[in-house]
Structure 1
Amino acid sequence: MAAVDSALLAMVAQRCPRCHHGPLFKYSAWNLRKFDEMYEDCVACGQYYEPEVGFYWGAMYISYGFSTGIVFLTGILLYYLANDPPVWVYITAVAVIVVALTPLLFRYARVVMLYFFAGIRYDSTLISEPPS
């Protein structure tokens, strides 16, 4: 995969914050046994992905924020689109959605943590692509 200049696109693609080329995770998000396995460092530029011991503990707060957003959005949608159903419908819908999205919530919480709090800056000179 070619390097991406946009930090937002690199975050969505789950790429290295330094070169925007190397992948952060080893396996697909839908490989439920291994969705959480990250590379220790970038396969393209060598950037180490854990700047300090316990760095990703902070990603739990980001994941909590994502989950809170899902609860809020699901509640609003159910209220208006399903005509305020019983409480068990809210609870079941939120539980199913959050459990189904757990691999993505986990990954994007780590991506956000790495991009915003690791102090790693993009360097476009690290990866040179052959001219096309």
Structure 2
Amino acid sequence: MSAAAAPIESSSLALLALRCPRCHQGKLFSHSALNLTKFTEMPAECPVCSQTFEPEPGFYFGAMYISFGFAVGTFAVVGILLYYLFDNPDTWVYVAAVAIITLLSTPLVFRYSRAIMLYLFGGTRYDPAWAARRAR
């Protein structure tokens, strides 16, 4: 299958690779993050193990809180870097820098917020024996 890759044993590495939480093989997103018109599209279920990617309606509303955490981290890091590296520039520099970095990182923040939500609260865990059962 083209949607499948070799299973990743570590759940942390599978999350970073944006793979299914149960089989660690299927991709969570249908298109590249660089495709700005379709970076949000997820299949309804894993193309490898058929694990549903939306456990209940409205499940990903909780990902907004995770995204907010990423935004706060971005604001803090950019603010501190600008303050110390550019000797406290004008306010417009802070606003412009944070706005640009936030816009550029939106596809990644969106994807990782959803992946973290699915891994932490999706109700499924990695099953290394799944591949062995599937092969039979």
1:1-132 superposed matches below 5 A: 1-128=5-132
The offset of 1:126, in angstroms, is 1.6
- State the distance in 1 between where 2:73 and 2:123 align: 26
CA contact (8 A) 1:25 1:38 kept: yes
- State the distance in 1 between where 2:92 and 2:110 align: 26
Cα shift readout 1:6-58 (whole Å, capped 9, x = no counterpart): 01110110000001000000000010000000011011111001111100001
| Aligned partner letter, 1:72 | A
Tell me how many residue pairs correspond in the alignment. Answer: 130
Q: TM-score, normalised by structure 2?
A: 0.92
Structure 1 gap segments, 5+ residues each: none
Q: TM-score, normalised by structure 1?
A: 0.95
The offset of 1:127, in angstroms, is 2.2
CA contact (8 A) 1:21 1:127 kept: no
- State the distance in 1 between where 2:124 and 2:92 align: 44
The offset of 1:119, in angstroms, is 1.4
RMSD between aligned residues: 1.3
CA contact (8 A) 1:41 1:48 kept: yes
SS of the residue corresponding to residue 9 of structure 1 reads helix
Structure 2 gap segments, 5+ residues each: none
Aligned residues: percent identity? Answer: 54
| Aligned partner letter, 1:14 | L
Runs of 4+ in 1 over 2 A off after TM superposition: 127-130
